[in-house]
Amino acid sequence: MNTELIIVTLLVGLGTYLIRFLPTFFMRGTGNPQAPLSRFLAATGPAAIAALYVGAVLPMLSPDLAAIAPLLLGSIAVVAIYLWRRDVTIATLGGALVYGVVFALL
């Protein structure tokens, strides 16, 4: 195996571990939701979800409406169900169901 690949893998693993460990280590006992680190961590989740969504959707974009119909309708379903029920789990499952049905029908 390539030595550079092993080094990069170890560094990425260490970075991932530190990103998860350090905030909890430094926030022990504070419990202050208005602390800068608490606000940063609260905003990181939605930002990460948006980044993952864009990364997953971008390769699927096409000028052909039939090719992107499942994506559009599934995304609309997620937003609509979330606004209706205020439940991320139900919205995600509903969007996946709509995506799958539209994909199967086309």
pLDDT tens sequence across 19-66: 888 877 776 666 666 777 777 777 787 788 888 888 888 877 878 888
Alpha helices in the chain, H assignment, sequence order:
3-26, 36-57, 65-85, 88-105
User: Are 27 and 38 within 8 A, CB to CB?
Assistant: yes
Phi first, then psi: what are they for 90, rounded to 5°?
Answer: -65, -40
pLDDT confidence bin for 93, thresholds 50/70/90: very high
Is the model's pLDDT at 16 over the cut of 80? yes
Whole-number pLDDT of residue 58: 82
pLDDT confidence bin for 98, thresholds 50/70/90: very high
Look over the chain and give the mean of its residue pLDDT values, rounded to a whole number: 85
Has this prediction a pTM greater than 0.75?
no
Question: Of 48, 40, 49, which is closest to residue 79 (Cα–Cα)?
Answer: 49
pLDDT confidence bin for 80, thresholds 50/70/90: very high
* Cα-based torsion angle of the residue sequence 99, 67, 69, 72 in order, rounded to the nearest 10 degrees: 80
For the beta carbon of residue 29, count every other beta carbon within 10 angstroms: 5
